[in-house]
Structure 1
Amino acid sequence: MIDKPTRLLALCHFWVAFGAFALACVLGLYQVLERSGLVPAMQSPGVYFASVSTHGVLMAFVLTTFFIMGFGYVVAVSSLKTPLWNPKLAWAGFGISLLGVVLAALPLLTGNASVLYTFYPPLQASVLFYLGATLLVVGSWLWCVVMIVMHSQWKAAHPGATVPLPMFATTGNAILWLWTSAGVALEVLFQLIPWALGWTETVDVGLARTLFSWTLHPIVYFWLIPAYIALYTFVPKAAGGVLFSHDLSRVAFILLVVFGLPIGFHHLYMDPEQGSGFKLMHGVGTFLVALPTLLTGFTVIASMEIAGRRRGGTGLFGWIGALPWREPLVLAAILAFLMLIAGGFGGIVNASYAMNAMVHNTAWVPGHFHLIFAGTTVIMYMAVGYYLWPRLTGKPLISDSLPVIQLWSWFLGMVLMTTPWHILGLLGQPRRISSVAYNSLLTLAWDPYELAMIVGGLVLTGSALLFAYILWQSQTGPAAEQAFEVEYTGYQPADGPVHPLLNGFKVWNVAILGLMVLNFGYPILQFFLAKTFGSIPWGY
């Protein structure tokens, strides 16, 4: 059982994460109403872009970072069966990150940081926003230190033993985040903060976008890995089965960490500052990183088939109906895979240069992003919340049926909102607009899809508030009669000790370094080596 101080630490992280999530969903509903142009009284470009920026930061940075840190502490203590290393450092990380959120919130909510969550220059925010973002990242680095130290200490105390899969993946995610966040850290510290303070008059936009691309796509896997940990280590047990392959699971996580990093230029396909050769290299890498997702789909679905057949399922697909669909972890996994299949198809489109040219900067892009992140990733965060809440609070969930209703409503709302979004992108609706003027046959054709998106937004907001209600009511309810333990999925009997390459990250860090130098070395150095006219790389 997790000790009380660690449970409190994890709960504090989770409440910041889910509180930010609930607020972001309310803002999202306002945005889909305002952007539709169907409610003229609501139209205000200033308020809209302040809301979009706040919504994006809360979802992409606050929800994810605090959830991942809280989940990591739970995984480390429960899977390694050892006390948390240096709780003071963990609390310091929480405090620094929370201070960063507060600092960034001030300019966001007052309209002084309406730069979207990507904060690309030449859009400029208040320096408080950049300082807050920096502190959020610095706090998360302390979490990375705790995870890596606990991983190393456990290996030292258990020579030759296999690191438990959930901790192995969590450590991989910490390493991924340290590599990933370096790009945006360089951009903010050396470009954006001096520029926002007035110390420099110019900023090299091409360099800033290149450094942010270092972070922009790998951060998706930083968000996604906790969902994959749940799929591998919680879902098969909840379904009544075992993990199909321990080795394949580790291979998938290693591939995510290694190949998830040097692929950011598919976000810069339409940008002129990088050559086509480097864009091709990053494009090939983007297709390679689909491999761990395919491995995950195969392994987890095979694990669920084992469970379904154990429960009496027969025939080719009879095992699917035999699964416990009313178990939140199992239901969330099924719905997550359905959204991942559709979102993955959209990812192939985005990674393909010619097709990207058609959908770039259209409504297709946020449709794809919401389906993958708010769909696949967030629904697994919710399921993890339902699973861990009794184990952190010592109190059962208030209902067995409400979580199931909530997960179904989140899935249906996401389908209702993102499907029209994709279609609008194919019809040519621009991405970064605050409203639509229905004054032509082209824009009038968008009207039914905007209405469908509003319905989807309403369902999603209601689902998000129901999620927060279930957690709050459960935490304030009566204590359970028995203790809840965090239990992980077992493995197939044939699985023995893993290969050393699948039990650590020393070799893989060297591989990452080589790939990063190859894919980002010259593209960054060129800004310092190339002769320019009227532009200085760092703005000095």
Structure 2
Amino acid sequence: MTTVTEKAKGFIQVDKRDAKLALAHIYVAFIALFIGGLCGLLQVLVRSGQFTLPWGITYYQILTVHGVLLGLILTTYFIFGFQIAAVSRTAGTLTDKQRSIGWIGFWTMTAGTVAASIMVLLNEASVLYTFYAPLQAHWIFYVGMALVVVGSWIGGIAQIMKYVEWRKANPGQPSPLITFMVVVNLAMWIICSLGVAVEVVFQLIPWSLGWVDKIDVLLSRTLFWYFGHPLVYFWLLPAYMVWYVVIPKIIGGKIFSDALARLSFMLFLIFSIPVGFHHQLTEPGIDSFWKYLQVVLTMMVVIPSLLTAFSLFASFEIRGRELGAKGVFGWFKKLPWKDARFVVPFIGMAAFIPAGAGGIINASHQMNQIIHNTIWVTGHFHLTLATTVVLTFFGAAYWLIPHLTGRILTKQMNHLAIIQAIVWTVGMSIMSGAMHIVGLFGAPRRSDFSTYGGSEQAADWIPYQIAQAVGGTILFIGIILVLYIVAHLLWFAPKGKTEFPIGEVSEHAEKTPMVLENWKIWLTICILLILFAYTIPVIDMIQNAPPGSKGYKLW
């Protein structure tokens, strides 16, 4: 096993066996990007009113494919591929047992992905990625999604085992920062995904098999959103890992503060889960006090977000001034604007400013009444996941894949990667901007053109729907470009050594207090907040459950 001492001596290559496991996840992620992205293109073309789907394919069928493959499969697989490599690089090569558990998790997730995908393609599961009841899918779809979750738990256990092993071998020392961040993200994921697992196993599967003819719809939606909003942070925290740990190394600087980074991640852990009610502000059956409480907890997430912004820009400014920058913003010019490994994630960071502002609107009770269930929400979703997170993942892929394959990112591919990011930004600005604007006019989400195409009000929406089609088309060109770059890095780039960039902490940073790795304290706070926010409302839902809703398929 590669030790930390050995790593300190110079260039360290992730073990080939661990690299193979990480790459397996990355392969699936980019396959999902292509298929899901194609369905996204078809969606915006249909909504423009200028295109009709062939061969009996339905709009909700491609909407489900798009949401499931990009929102759940692309993200989960890329995150796990990245995290496996990060843990192996910083905490040491996985043991044979840990690696075997990782492979079991991968194949369990993949079996579930294939099963669920087949049902969607057969139009037996056109229930969108939220799979709300009373929309009903074939039971195989629900079993497939359950396998994806269970497989992620198994794969996550392997990464946590390596962290525990490192802590035992290095008592009293802070663990490698990025490994610590991985474990925080996995802890959050396992805790929050228990909600959707309970929904699927105890409600949706028995219902879809006909064992029961009714389920409590409000409870099922509450269990989903217990999971659904932390899911956003499950996507976001790996991007934060890149920002905190990798980007400082790429720009030639250092991590501003190890302690601040760990604190922000622990705050995300405790505040990201008991907030699902802010997605249910318009739903009856939930007392207004509990909605208010969870909105307050939602706003608390602003704190670690601001800590992150402060830390990142402190690293940028310090490095810029080391390079001779003068004036208030002179450091900005000193950043490596010709390096795709920096430029692509930086665009994602910049997009998070309007995305975060939109999130505050979504979570605010009064403003939520204006945009709830409009396509504004879809536009917001595409700024957070499809821009901030996805562009950061692309930027990470440009050094992660060649590191794992023993290749290099050439100047030509680096230049093309920057072009790809610009294409993506232009396409997303047009599409998401149009979604935000027409959402304020009341245009609904989850609806094709045929739903409202004949109404008088819809005539005012058509230019914005066409703009979405234009932006979506540009985005699909961006997908083709990134797939070309990824294929080149996987199989055709010149052989060579590519660094897995891990930043060093500034010598001026305060010593990291070990209380930040006292899991008993943080997990206790997390669980207590969850129990406080959910216990009474859920008991009330069960005790005062309506007769129930019979399930209908979406034709």
2:261·2:308 contact (CA, 8 Å) conserved in 1?
A: yes
1:100·1:136 contact (CA, 8 Å) conserved in 2?
A: yes
Instruction: State the Cα distance separating 1:525 from its structure 2 match.
Output: 1.6
SS of the equivalent of 2:242 reads: helix
2:212 match: 200
Given candidates 464, 468, 471, the residue that maps to 1:453 is: 468
2:430 match: 416
Q: 2: CA distance between counterparts of 1:183 and 1:533? A: 21
Q: 2: CA distance between counterparts of 1:529 and 1:247? A: 45
1:397·1:470 contact (CA, 8 Å) conserved in 2?
A: no
SS of the equivalent of 1:99 reads: helix
Q: 2: CA distance between counterparts of 1:527 and 1:445? A: 41
SS of the equivalent of 2:547 reads: coil
The correspondence of residues 236-315 of structure 1 with structure 2, limited to 5 A, is: 236-315=248-327
Given candidates 148, 157, 163, the residue that maps to 1:151 is: 163
Instruction: State the Cα distance separating 1:43 from its structure 2 match.
Output: 8.2
Does residue 114 of structure 2 align to residue 102 of structure 1? yes
1:17 match: 29
Q: 1: CA distance between counterparts of 2:447 and 2:238? A: 33
2:270·2:526 contact (CA, 8 Å) conserved in 1?
A: yes
Deviations 1:195-232 (A, max 9, x none): 00010010110110111111010110011111000000
Given candidates 492, 497, 515, the residue that maps to 2:529 is: 515
Given candidates 441, 457, 479, the residue that maps to 1:464 is: 479
Where has structure 1 moved over 4 Å in runs of 4 or more? 43-46, 436-441
2:399·2:498 contact (CA, 8 Å) conserved in 1?
A: no
Instruction: State the Cα distance separating 1:113 from its structure 2 match.
Output: 0.5
Q: 2: CA distance between counterparts of 1:230 and 1:478? A: 23
Does residue 502 of structure 2 align to residue 488 of structure 1? yes
1:382 match: 394
Given candidates 61, 64, 75, the residue that maps to 1:64 is: 75
The correspondence of residues 106-125 of structure 1 with structure 2, limited to 5 A, is: 106-125=118-137
User: What is the aligned-residue identity percentage?
Assistant: 39
Q: 1: CA distance between counterparts of 2:549 and 2:62? A: 33
SS of the equivalent of 1:446 reads: helix
Does residue 98 of structure 2 align to residue 86 of structure 1? yes
Deviations 1:159-197 (A, max 9, x none): 111111100100001100110101001100000000000
Given candidates 363, 384, 400, the residue that maps to 2:414 is: 400
Deviations 1:300-325 (A, max 9, x none): 11111222222332211111121111
Q: 2: CA distance between counterparts of 1:297 and 1:155? A: 29
| Letter paired with 1:460 | L
Q: 2: CA distance between counterparts of 1:533 and 1:473? A: 56
Instruction: State the Cα distance separating 1:45 from its structure 2 match.
Output: 9.1
Q: 1: CA distance between counterparts of 2:141 and 2:363? A: 31
Q: 2: CA distance between counterparts of 1:72 and 1:504? A: 21
1:432 match: 446
Q: 2: CA distance between counterparts of 1:478 and 1:328? A: 16
1:338 match: 350
Given candidates 472, 475, 478, the residue that maps to 2:490 is: 475
Does residue 458 of structure 2 align to residue 443 of structure 1? yes
Root-mean-square deviation (CA), in Å? Answer: 1.7
Note the residue ranges of structure 1 that are not aligned, 5 or more in a row: none
TM-score (structure 1 length as normaliser): 0.96
Deviations 1:387-439 (A, max 9, x none): 11110111113522111111111112111110010001001111121115554
Instruction: State the Cα distance separating 1:42 from its structure 2 match.
Output: 3.7
Which shifted more, 460-469 or 321-330?
321-330
2:408·2:497 contact (CA, 8 Å) conserved in 1?
A: no
1:329·1:387 contact (CA, 8 Å) conserved in 2?
A: yes
Given candidates 222, 232, 248, the residue that maps to 2:234 is: 222
Q: 1: CA distance between counterparts of 2:456 and 2:448? A: 20
1:210 match: 222
Instruction: State the Cα distance separating 1:451 from its structure 2 match.
Output: 2.0
Does residue 62 of structure 2 align to residue 47 of structure 1? no
Deviations 1:472-529 (A, max 9, x none): 122222542x422313111111235411221242211111110111011111122333
2:151 match: 139
1:166·1:229 contact (CA, 8 Å) conserved in 2?
A: yes
2:15·2:93 contact (CA, 8 Å) conserved in 1?
A: no
| Letter paired with 1:89 | I
2:105·2:153 contact (CA, 8 Å) conserved in 1?
A: yes
- 1:43/1:448 Cα in 2 relative to 1: closer, same or farther (>3 Å)? farther
Q: 1: CA distance between counterparts of 2:36 and 2:324? A: 42
Q: 1: CA distance between counterparts of 2:546 and 2:369? A: 29
Which shifted more, 140-149 or 128-137?
140-149
Q: 2: CA distance between counterparts of 1:439 and 1:34? A: 14
Q: 1: CA distance between counterparts of 2:313 and 2:248? A: 9
Q: 1: CA distance between counterparts of 2:546 and 2:443? A: 36
| Letter paired with 1:243 | I
Does residue 192 of structure 2 align to residue 180 of structure 1? yes
Instruction: State the Cα distance separating 1:86 from its structure 2 match.
Output: 1.7
Q: 2: CA distance between counterparts of 1:109 and 1:51? A: 9
1:534 match: 547
- 1:24/1:522 Cα in 2 relative to 1: closer, same or farther (>3 Å)? same
TM-score (structure 2 length as normaliser): 0.93
2:259·2:510 contact (CA, 8 Å) conserved in 1?
A: no
SS of the equivalent of 2:531 reads: helix
